[in-house]
Amino acid sequence: MDVKIEDSWKTVLQDEFSKPYFLQVVTHLKTERATKATIYPPGGLIFNAFDKTPFDKVKLVILGQDPYHNPGQAMGLSFSVPDGVPPPPSLVNIYKELNTDIGMPIPSSGNLTEWAMQGVLLLNAVLTVRANEPASHAKIGWMDFTNAVIKKISDEKTGVIFLLWGKFAQEKQVLIDETKHHVLKAAHPSPLSAYNGFFGCKHFSRANALLAKQGQEVIDWMI
């Protein structure tokens, strides 16, 4: 399979694309498409996070779980939806935290591409999903791939900030070398858990303070 992915990532992840688990992912997706299953995001956006944030530009990682499973929402960037699609509940809560943390006005757009272009890797642990079936691709091999991505970032870069929201994301902490990277943890921004520690976490201002301390350009969070 000719994986459509930005060149710097293609170099870093070259070995992964020939491993059995990745070939299994490709076969699974082809089989489902042959049965006319609807898969999100569209094929050209499966690796959108990598295309928008080249490996050498990554300075912050926001880890999601799997893509939105309703029509028109998934765009290959964790928590993000295309222009014209109302922000889902977790993203609404992210915006609320940004408002209290840095005073950002609540935007109407849920498109986070501007963050990705600044070096924020918006990575879902699972890169595809069947329409209307959450977590339907959670066990087809994607997590082996995204675990490898996190490990490559940890091994080959320094000073990256990982925002791990919720138990699922926090289980990835073992892949990160905290002697050379920063991990900020909080509850998931979902309405079910945001009041248990996501609100008030100040991750956005804290992340920028860490970037500034390292002499890096801070993220302009304004949408």
* Active site residues per annotation: 66
Give yes or no for a contact between 131 and 38, defined as CB atoms under 8 angstroms apart. yes
CA distance 75 to 184: 25
- Secondary structure class of 64 (helix, strand, coil): strand
CA distance 42 to 73: 10
- List own/partner pairs for 89-93 with CB under 8 A and 24 or more apart: 89/190, 89/191, 90/188, 90/189, 90/190, 90/191, 90/194, 91/189, 93/189, 93/190, 93/191, 93/194, 93/198, 93/199
Q: What tokens does 182 get?
A: 């920063």
CA distance 173 to 166: 11
DSSP symbols for 176-221: S-TTTSEEEEE--SSTTTGGGTTTT--HHHHHHHHHHHTTPPPP--
Give yes or no for a contact between 64 and 190, defined as CB atoms under 8 angstroms apart. no
Q: What tokens does 43 get?
A: 């094929």
Q: What is the largest CA-CA distance in the chain?
A: 52
